[in-house]
Structure 1
């Protein structure tokens, strides 16, 4: 978002040993520590951070064949889309629908990154991390990560406890199996692709994302700014009676997930520019807030509140911010 205050200290870490060294350095000085990846899903407070920011640059990429399965181990500091690109080039299926998501590999389990019907939880085997509570490096099985919709123990009950250093994923040697997700299925059908390859699915996802999302290198944004809200079935039935074209998906627990972008659009806020805060919403996807000329995180948070208020007034639905506000 190109907003927020400065950090008192910052260091890049390229391996677990450097991570441990940085933590020890901060401990001697009684400094708080935060570790980040690419920063694509972070908003910094205007006050800045009085401690040490560690930037994860831990690399590593290896594939291990086990019959039809492919186990992919990556360093947490690897660029995520490069990981996807390399796995697809190797003919491994499983994460191609997570193409073009900005950030590092280590960030994907934190919010259980997902797109087009696929979540990282679907393929994750384990997470390697430094556990600040016990003061040592640990391996956490996927089943112990408490995954939910855009949720995990890493941004929930154990927020700040673990510094992720690597991941292991289970992919397969087979072609993707449709149906996938409505937008992706439509794109493939319009081009007459009934049995897509892994590369064709990746190419389709990239094309769809580029058509509706701004490039963060050119336009200051954090991607999707709000989580898709999950509401009780009764409330969803009431809204569907009023808005029959409202996108919705049944959840395993009986609740219903709505499309936050659709709600913001119908509230009249797609492609708007707010002169008071310098913020706006992206014309092709109302779910994306963009910094046009905002000067502070306070400006962003004021605009966020305007969007939340408009959706709540129109639909009675509360939108929850997706990017993490730090520290």
Structure 2
């Protein structure tokens, strides 16, 4: 009996011990599971550092077309992604600014959209030859337009602004009626090349009509001074020295014009002095020009249109400013 009792007691103790081990194993497993869950939670809360940009390599591919509104022709196409819109915005903006500049002002291989006004002119038979308006492409506006559509792409029209001449073409004949300003300078007729150049440039500016608000450009009106355009070799001033050059003498035409228009209300956009004194106008009363670099330009701010006439004799050039009687009388 005692032996049976001892056997039963040992079996009970063994059962109790196994039960405690199971409980401990279950507790360990539960704690391990909680720890794994907590570690996963911590991993999910880790964020990308702010100094490391998140780059989506699957941005959509799209194109921006720059269109001429007059012809509806596509003159340029660009890919914002290829130009760095997402990776280097500052560089992208500079690329767009350079593109706008090239379209407006042109490059060595082609002309831009910007054009100075070519003024109307009356020929000897009193026929009016129309020039063309001033065309301006606003570069900053084009840049803003391209940047605004860069996230999605699309079409952008060139912001072209056209300024027509400021007078009624029906009254061009009457603009030759009254002389309101005049100036004459003299030259040595024995200098054949110089005399020829003065005569030719005088004819180029004569009977040109400057409307209200119009800009007159001597270089645009007279054009290039080359052998091909009829100009001859004569002395001209370069860096304070007299040297032979094609077109020498035309500065006397531009200076005579300046002294005539300076008697009425105009606003000067560009005017330059010679590098040394000249004899045909008083000191400081000159307007030197050089095609492609130095120009003489003014705006008609008189409030009425006028006509420039220019004529030569054997040794003089006279520039007159004329307008119709109604405009001349309104100034008195």
TM-score, normalized by the shorter chain, greater than 0.5 = no
> Which structure shows the higher strand fraction?
1
Select the structure of larger CA radius of gyration. Answer: 2
> Which structure shows the higher helix fraction?
2
